[in-house]
Every structure is written in C-alpha cells, then in structure tokens.
A and B are shown apart, each in its own frame.
Chain A
Amino acid sequence: MILEHAGNAEARTLAGWRKLGGYASVEKALKGMTPEQVGEEVKKAGLRGRGGAGFPAGLKWSFLDRKSDKPRYLVCNADESEPGTFKDRYLMEHLPHLLVEGMIVSSFALGAKTSYIYIRGEYMYLLRLLEKAIGEAYAAGYLGNDILGSGYSLDLHVHPGGGAYICGEETALLESLEGKRGNPRIKPPFPASQGLYGCPTVVNNVETIATVPHVLRMGGEAYAAIGVGKSTGTKLISASGHIKRPGVYEIELGKVSCEEFLLSDAFCGGPKNGRPIKAVIPGGSSVPVLPLALFLKTAKGEARMMSYESLADGGFVSGTSLGSGGFFAMDESACMVRNLWNLTRFYHHESCGQCSPCREGTGWMEKVLHRLEAGQGRLSDIDLLVDIAKKIEGNTICPLGDAAAWPVASHIRHFRHEFEYHVKYPEKVKDPRHGEREPVAMPK
C-alpha cells in the first residue's frame, strides 16, 4: 500500500504523483471534511505510531490542547537513527510527495498553521529532495494561503538535525528544532500541551504521517480491516544483517509469520552465507534480541507472527517488540558479546549526558563489555552488567536509558553461554572473528 509506487520515477514529481492518484486525500479532506472528521478516521483506523513506541496516533492527536489560544504545531519525526532502521529514508527518497501530502492532511486535522519535518542531518540530500517537493506543492496550491480555496493555510518547512540519535526522542527533537542541544525535556508537561515554543504540538513518525492519506482514501474502518487485532494496517520493515535479500518490505501486520519473513524469497530470503541464523533483533537495536527458536515460535510453542502483539508475546522474558521495524538477523558466526559491545558503544556515544544513570551507566557497561569481549573479563562481570542495566532501566529522563538496558539484559538472558565462553577461553576470543571458525554452541 504505502510502497505501491516506490521505485516509480514518476512518483517523485508532483505531476507524476497526481497522475498516480496523489494529493486526492488533500482534496477530500480540505474540501469535504472537518478537521475532527479526519481525526476520527485516523482513530477508527487504529493506526499506531510507526516510530517504535506503537502508541495509537488518533489518541495522541486527541490529547492536543485545542483550548489554548497559542498556535498548534505538527512536527514530523524524520530523525531515523535507530540502528537497523532505514525505512523512512527509503520512503522519503522514493515517495517525497506522499509525506508532503500526509503532512498537509494531518496538519489540517490538528489545526496547525505551520508544520515542520525534522530530518536527521546526515540525510541532507533528502532534505533537498523534500524541499523540492514542497516547492512544487506550494506552486500547485497545496501549500500556502487558502489551500484549494478551502480557507485553510499551511506552511511546511524542513529542518535538519546535526548528528544525534537522541533527537529521535520527541522532546529532544523539539529542543533541537528550537536551536538547542538535544536534551530531552522533563515531563510533564507533555508536547500535547507545551511542545514547540511552549505551544501545543504533535510529533509523528514519517511512516505514520505517510499512512494518513491512505487512511483517508479508504476510510478508517477499511484500513482497520487490514491486519490483525490491534495491529492494524501495514508496516514497513527494514531488513538487514546476515540475510540474502536486505531491503525495505511492507507487510500486512499479523499476516506474515516470522518464519516466512526470515526465510521466504518474498522477504529476507534466509541466511546469506549458508550458515544458520542464530539470533534476530526484529524492531531496531533497542528491542530485546531473540534466539532463532524463540523468534520463530513463542514460549507456548505457537508460530510467531510479525505483529505488535505476537512479537511481544512472552514479555521481555521470551518475547521482544516490533519497535521501529528495524529487523536484523545474525548467523552463527556472529559473536553476541561483540554485538552487544558494539550496540552499547552506540548508546554510550548517543547519551545526551543530562541524567546520571544514563550518562554514567552506559559508559560503564561499554567498558565492562569491552573487557569481556577481549577475553579479559570475569564471570562476575556478567552479573555486574545485568545489575547496571537494571539500575538504568526505568530511572532515566527519556527512553534512551531503557534502550541501552534492554539489549544488555536480553543478550545475557539468551546468550549467557557466549559471555561465559569469553571468560573461559580468553585465547580463543582474542580474534574477534572466532565465531566464523568455531561457532559457540547453544546449550541444549
């Protein structure tokens, strides 16, 4: 659905996009619907935020303080930085007008007169591409004053980040948009009442916004009929790692089994080097890693599906999370200790430094992991790591602390034997590629 015209060069220009049915949702909403009706359709659609938290978008919109006499803002979160996630980049590159269209109808629904797309600075070439699309939309009367004679006016701007994962957190993003350091704000107050410039603000992910035109096109109820249960609609999955066919796939939520997604040639196509897959991180680096067996089947023995609920089955003990849909698989050559060290280095590097557990804890974990990885650790280091992670989790200003803690907890929970191996056989693990020669066996 979302990716229907991805790859079609025509979709990149306004004229081509219109030929493909683009901007119909703008006509429909601005000419024939009230903002409340648009919001109602999104609610009916059961559309959940596609950035990672999965919070219902319609509900989030309904929290917006509409009684305030201050201006209201919609900000699109295009700061895609969660390791393993590259679907927003793909979407913006191939379908820039879909995002612009989504911004117009969503801004209309929220009563925003000015909206922003906050895009990570590394995607500067996409910023230029989006600005071009926005320019075309102004010229065609889809943006600016009195859009299509509806009386509704909107300005849309793109704002670059400067290289900081933390700006994907919505309040850090707003700080950054205000020209400040990307320090997440202390909540409450929430953006819905005091967001950008202290005004009521909604922040939505690129994919969420790009879905809104489809919801309007088909109607909320029809959209909700796609997918299974509370996992309505489709989801973009970025697939990478040790698989044959990396790329961005659109799946109908709950209809594709994890086994099919991993092994079928319609999706990942199975392992790329002939070595069996050993572990999967299905929702971006922050979500718990699962050993292959638990990824394919829940602890109850049911086939696991690609949906919010099924991936979460078993909680964080035997389940994981769909997260941002940043899917990456590791075959048995991968060293889970090294993988965890790598990811922990990332969170340490990206911690803003505001609150003590994250500022001090992420660096501490990285140092302990580095020591373990190099074969210089002790068995007690493993429990030390679990303990530090536990003390970061839930105690920080923003979710980066949790995002740093979950991989540590899950790597050790499911692959403790590899950590112990590093302590027992320091000579063997001196070579970071020890797994390629001699995979560490899973305990029976």
Chain B
Amino acid sequence: MPELRFSPAALAEVKRLLAHYPADRKKSALLPVLHLAQNELGPHLSVPLMDYVAGLLEITPIEVYEVASFYTMFNTRPVGRFKLEPCRTGPCALNGAEDLIAYLEKKLGIRDGETTADGLFTLKSTECLGSCGSAPVMQIGEDYHENLTFAEVDRLLENLKQRAGR
C-alpha cells in the first residue's frame, strides 16, 4: 500500500487553509482538509487517512472520526470511483427524481446505496442539493447535472466509463 501522504501541492493547500483560522484553532480547517484528503487520497476516508489528517491538524483521531461520520459528503466506507448522487427531496421528487433513481438502479443493476461490482459506480440518493428549479438533478463529484433525462443519464455514464478507460 502506498504511503499516505499529501502531495507537495496538497500540503501547500493545507498551509493556505490553516492560515484562514487563528493559529490556535487548527481544528477549524478540519472540514476543508477532509475534502482535500478525500479528493487526493480517497475516494474514501480510511482510518489511516483520518489519522493522518488528525496529525496534520494536531487533534486526536476520535475528533476526526466524530466529524467525518457526521457529514454525509465524507465517505467513511469504501465507495466506487464515481459517486452518483441524485437528489430525492420534495421538489425533485415532484419532478421525476423517483423515476431517475429507479432508472439508475435498473441501469447499473444495483440498489440505492450500493456499488457496482466493477467498483466504478456508487449510487447514493441524497437530500436537497439546492437545485429544485432544475429537477431532476444529480451531483457527480463537484458537478451538478440538471434537468436530467434518461438519455442524458446514458450519455453521462458512458462518458464516465470512458474516463475510467472501460
């Protein structure tokens, strides 16, 4: 297993983030640094990775576990390379979210919350993404995909597969 260490660029980013907060409040950088860790060394926050973050911020490991397990964006369990997060809440549900989720389940052959056998996709429906006017919507990584149709979903998944070289 490769050593868990941030790249020099990421370490510079940690330094930049820490400068945002008072010197004796390093813990404040925990959420942004966890995002960074998940992006750079993820896609999930393993225990060694969280311990590494604890060391960087000079806090105890349990403080990191407590926080990582509270927020839904942090993957404390292994996930696929691409996490597909269709919104399932209120206004989206009025405009096709349930159909979208059912379509994704059928297309990927998995249930909501599961990962495909090839480790490529995790389907995890999520609560309101703040995109109610362009429902149905799905977040993949940092990108919002809005006003989705089934054809658009097909195209998206094809692109992701290509990006992964499959």
Contact = CB atoms under 8 A, between A and B. Distances in A.
Do A and B share a direct contact in the complex (Cβ within 8 angstroms)? yes
Interface of A: 80-86, 88-89, 116, 120-125, 157, 159-165, 176-182, 197, 238-242, 246-248, 281, 285, 326, 328, 330, 334, 338-339, 342-343, 346, 349-350, 352, 432
A121 B133 contact: no
Q: Chain A at the B interface: mostly helix, strand, loop or mixed?
A: mixed
A180 B66 CA distance: 8
Given A89-B130, A162-B70, A163-B73, A328 B31 contact: no
Contacts of B126: 163
Given A179-B31, A285-B128, 4 more contacts: A162-B35, A179-B27, A241-B94, A285-B89
20 contacts: A81-B130, A83-B89, A83-B127, A83-B128, A86-B131, A122-B73, A160-B32, A178-B27, A179-B25, A180-B30, A180-B67, A197-B22, A240-B133, A247-B133, A285-B89, A326-B132, A328-B90, A334-B94, A342-B89, A352-B70
Contact of A240 (B28, B71, B135): B135
Given A176-B31, A334-B94, A350 B71 contact: no
Nearest to B22: A197
Contacts of A125: 142-144
B132 A163 contact: no
Contacts of A164: 70-72
Contacts of B144: 125
Given A163-B73, A182-B71, A197-B25, A122 B130 contact: yes
B20 interface: yes
8 tightest Cβ-Cβ pairs between the two chains A and B: A162-B71, A179-B30, A163-B73, A163-B72, A179-B27, A246-B133, A240-B132, A157-B20
Nearest to B27: A179
Interface in B7-40: 20, 22, 25, 27-32, 34-35
Given A85-B132, A162-B34, A163-B74, A342 B67 contact: no
A386 to B, nearest CB: 21
B95 interface: yes
A179 B28 CA distance: 4
B114 interface: no
Given A162-B70, A197-B25, A346 B133 contact: no
A80 B130 contact: yes
Contact of A328 (B34, B59, B127, B132): B132
A241 B95 contact: yes
The range of chain B's interface size is 35 or more
Nearest to B59: A179
A114 to B, nearest CB: 8
Contacts of A157: 20
A432 B35 contact: no
A89 B144 CA distance: 12
Most buried by B among A125, A161, A162: A162
Given A181-B70, A342-B88, A346-B89, A121 B35 contact: yes
Given A81-B128, A160-B35, A285-B90, A246 B73 contact: no
Contact of A339 (B59, B73, B90): B90
Nearest to A177: B28
A86 B133 contact: yes
Max count, chain A CB within 10 A of own CB: residue among B27, B90, B131, B134: B90
A116 B28 CA distance: 12
B46 interface: no
Nearest to A243: B133
A248 B128 CA distance: 16
Given A122-B129, A162-B70, A162-B74, A241 B20 contact: no
A32 B127 CA distance: 46
Given A83-B91, A121-B71, A181-B67, A238 B133 contact: yes
B98 interface: yes
B93 interface: yes
A164 B21 CA distance: 22
Interface in B77-92: 88-91
B128 A241 contact: no
